[in-house]
Amino acid sequence: MASFVPHHAMKHMIEMKFNDEDVPGSPWEVEVAAMDAAGGLQVLGEHLKHFPASKPASIDISAPGRSKADLSVDVVGPSKRTVPFTLTETSSGIFKCQFSASEVGSHVINVNVDGQPIPGSPFVSKAYNAGLIRVSDVPTGVVGQTCQFRVDASQAGEGQLEISINDGEVPNHVQVLGGGRCLVTFTPEMPKTHTIDIKFNGEPVPGCPFVCRVQGSSRVTVNLRHLELLPVQQPASFLIHIDGGGNAELAVSVRGPAHSTLPVKVTGNVRSGFTAEFTPLEVGAHTVLVEYNGAPVSGTPFTCKVYDTGRVTVTSMPKGAIGKSLQFTVDASEAGEGNLEISISAGGRNIPTQVHPQGSARFGVSFVPLEPVDHTINISFNKEPIPGSPFMAHVQSDPNHIVVKGASLASTAVGKSSYFTLSNVSGNVEEVEVNVDGRYSSPKVH
């Protein structure tokens, strides 16, 4: 059992649906008459509550036993300007007031009979304009992927918004954004054109029906892992594969650190795949976005880091003596993200190296040379030699430091001659004294 209490004497429409389908016989019309406590004085009509702006509107006035001269009417718009109207007697004691208002908003209608307000007067009727509704961002869809568009009714006045997709076959969800604006989403399940019908207070919105073309679901794959680190000013490319036929819109974009868009060249076809190529022009994070029918492909947007090996700088290579620590500094603060590798060798052997982080991608490097020979310093950034690498550090002998080396210092065979060398010796051989403890023949220095 359904019931309602009417508050106005006017025709009422009763609509009934079950699972979004009209119940047979719906809608029903119910004419509600006013109580005759006021001697039959009343105002009727569907435009008594709301009416379309810039279109003819009317109300009916019941005043039994009165003439047109006994009635006075005025209609005032939102800006307090009077709206012109015409008043005619359609039958004995029944009058029709016709008017057309251009403003959207609340209009005050005053009706007086014999100089007194008719019951309910003044009436407030709200003008609306479905032509001021704007629909935007109607997408191209893909089966199984959410589509969305926007409806802006902020300038259209008050009213009821009705949205139907494919005559109600496709459910939709309306998210109210405030200020008369809303976001509509739906998920197509069939690869066919979807029509969007929008009504405002029962009137079609201009431009209806809107069309959303839906393509079949195709699987798009991209491999971008090799783009994680990219050298500046060098072309970079990646492959795009599409499984599934049909025409579709493929879009590839690359944005630099300052959100500037880089040119992207896309070649190929659906059967063999596509190749996208671009050239980063500056150091920093770049965003790669691949869209298929307006939807981002899985794995994108992807951030790749662009570096410039040429912007790694090194202070002057040191000169020194054996046994004394040598230092220099490497500055990679302007080169972008990456891995810095430093190795030092002398005579084909690696020399222990100490790297001291100084902050902001700056590093102090130190080592202790053990031989009076040139030391080779190799520096690479992301596996690429920096400009000038390898560097040479010149190491001289220290007159106060004698270097002794040779395998026999650790072990030697019994009965066989053994030797070791002394370098960086100043003076004559006769001034060198060597003592060996144990049973041995006298050592010889030469």
The strand ranges marked E within 187-264 are: 194-200, 203-204, 210-212, 214-215, 219-222, 229-231, 236-243, 250-255, 261-262
How far apart (Å, rounded) are the C-alpha atoms in residues 43 and 73? 11
Q: Give pTM, 2 decimals.
A: 0.46
Res 95: pLDDT: 93
Tokens of 335: 């080169």
Question: Is residue 264 within 8 Å of 254, Cβ to Cβ?
Answer: yes
Per-residue pLDDT 10s for the chain (446 aa) are: 676 656 566 788 888 887 778 878 888 887 776 544 456 788 988 898 899 999 999 999 999 888 888 999 999 999 999 999 999 998 888 999 999 999 999 999 999 998 889 988 899 999 999 999 999 988 878 788 889 999 999 999 998 999 999 999 999 999 998 889 999 999 998 878 899 999 999 899 999 999 998 876 667 888 888 999 999 999 999 999 887 655 567 889 999 998 889 999 999 888 888 999 999 999 999 999 998 877 778 788 899 999 999 999 999 888 888 888 999 999 999 999 999 999 999 988 899 999 999 999 999 999 998 888 889 999 999 999 999 999 999 887 765 666 677 777 767 888 788 887 776 665 666 777 777 777 655 666 55
pLDDT of residue 6: 66
- The per-residue pLDDT for 9 is 63
